[in-house]
Structure 1
Amino acid sequence: MDAPGGSLGWPWAGAAARALLPAALGLLCVPALGAAGALLVFSGTLLIFSAARPPAALPAAGRAVLITGSDTGIGHALAKYLDNMGFIVFAGVLNKDGPGAEELRRTCSQRLSLLQLDITNPTQVKEAYLKVSEKVQNTGLWGVVNNAGILGFPADGELLPMSTYRHCMDVNFFGAVEVSKTFLPLLRKSQGRLVNMSSMAGGIPLPKYAAYGASKAALSMFSGVMRQELSKWGVKVMNILVQPKPICSLMTVTAGIQGTSELWDKQEKDLLENLPAAVRSDYGDDYLQELKSYLVRLPAHCDADLSPVLKDVLHALLARRPHGLYTPGKGAYLPLCIFCYFPVWFYDFFISKLFSAEPVPRVLRTAEAGNGNL
Structure 2
Amino acid sequence: MAHLNSRLLYLAVGVFFSGSALHKLMKNKVKIENASVSGLLSLLILGIFCFFVLSDTAGLTLLTLACTIYYYSIPVRDMLSAEGKSVLITGCDSGFGHALAKHLDKLGVHVFAGVLDKKGPGAEELKRVCSTHLCLIQLNITNCEEIRKAYKEISSYIQDAGLWGIVHNAGVLGYVADGELIPFSVYRQCMEVNFLGAVQVTQIFAPLLRKSKGRLVSISSMGGHVPLNGFAAYASSKAALSMFSAVMRQDLSKWGVKVAVVCPSGFRTNIFGSQNQVILDNVMPDVKEDYGEDYIENLKGLYHTLHKFGSSDLSPVMEDACHALLAQTPNFLYTPGRLAYLIPCLYYYFPQWISDWMGMQAFQISRNMLPRALRNNNKSIY
TM range (shorter): 0.7 to 0.9
CA RMSD of aligned residues (A): 2.6
Question: Match of 1:127?
Answer: 149
Question: Match of 1:339?
Answer: 347
Against the structure 1 CA distance between its residues 16 and 352, is the aligned structure 2 distance closer, same or farther, given a 3 Å change threshold? closer
Confirm or deny: 8 A CA contact 1:74 1:254 kept in the other structure.
Answer: no
Confirm or deny: 8 A CA contact 1:129 1:183 kept in the other structure.
Answer: yes
Against the structure 1 CA distance between its residues 101 and 27, is the aligned structure 2 distance closer, same or farther, given a 3 Å change threshold? farther
Confirm or deny: 8 A CA contact 1:206 1:351 kept in the other structure.
Answer: yes
How far has the Cα of 1:161 moved from its partner?
A: 1.4
**Structure-to-structure mapping, 1:187-198, within 5 angstroms:** 187-198=209-220
Aligned pair partner of 1:109 in 107, 111, 131: 131
Once residues 343 and 28 of structure 1 are traced to their aligned partners in structure 2, the CA distance between those partners, rounded to angstroms, is 23
Question: Match of 2:372?
Answer: 362
Q: Deviations over 1:181-218 (max 9, x none)?
A: 11110000000000000000111000000000000000
3-state SS of 2:279 partner = helix
Once residues 200 and 25 of structure 1 are traced to their aligned partners in structure 2, the CA distance between those partners, rounded to angstroms, is 27
Name the amino acid aligned to 1:353. Answer: Q
Aligned pair partner of 2:178 in 134, 137, 156: 156
1:258 aligns with 2:265: no
Q: Deviations over 1:145-174 (max 9, x none)?
A: 000000001110011111111010010000
Q: Deviations over 1:335-362 (max 9, x none)?
A: 0111121221222123233334133111
Once residues 16 and 279 of structure 1 are traced to their aligned partners in structure 2, the CA distance between those partners, rounded to angstroms, is 44
Once residues 26 and 210 of structure 1 are traced to their aligned partners in structure 2, the CA distance between those partners, rounded to angstroms, is 38
Gaps of 5+ in 2: 1-26, 48-69
Question: Match of 1:45?
Answer: none
Once residues 147 and 23 of structure 1 are traced to their aligned partners in structure 2, the CA distance between those partners, rounded to angstroms, is 34
1:225 aligns with 2:247: yes
Q: TM-score, normalised by structure 1?
A: 0.81
Once residues 100 and 293 of structure 1 are traced to their aligned partners in structure 2, the CA distance between those partners, rounded to angstroms, is 27
1:277 aligns with 2:285: yes
Larger RCO: 1 or 2 (CA < 8 Å, sep 6+): 1
- Give the % identical residues: 50
Q: TM-score, normalised by structure 2?
A: 0.79
Confirm or deny: 8 A CA contact 2:34 2:334 kept in the other structure.
Answer: no
Length, aligned pairs only: 324
Confirm or deny: 8 A CA contact 2:77 2:328 kept in the other structure.
Answer: no
1:92 aligns with 2:100: no
Once residues 367 and 25 of structure 1 are traced to their aligned partners in structure 2, the CA distance between those partners, rounded to angstroms, is 52
Once residues 317 and 238 of structure 1 are traced to their aligned partners in structure 2, the CA distance between those partners, rounded to angstroms, is 9
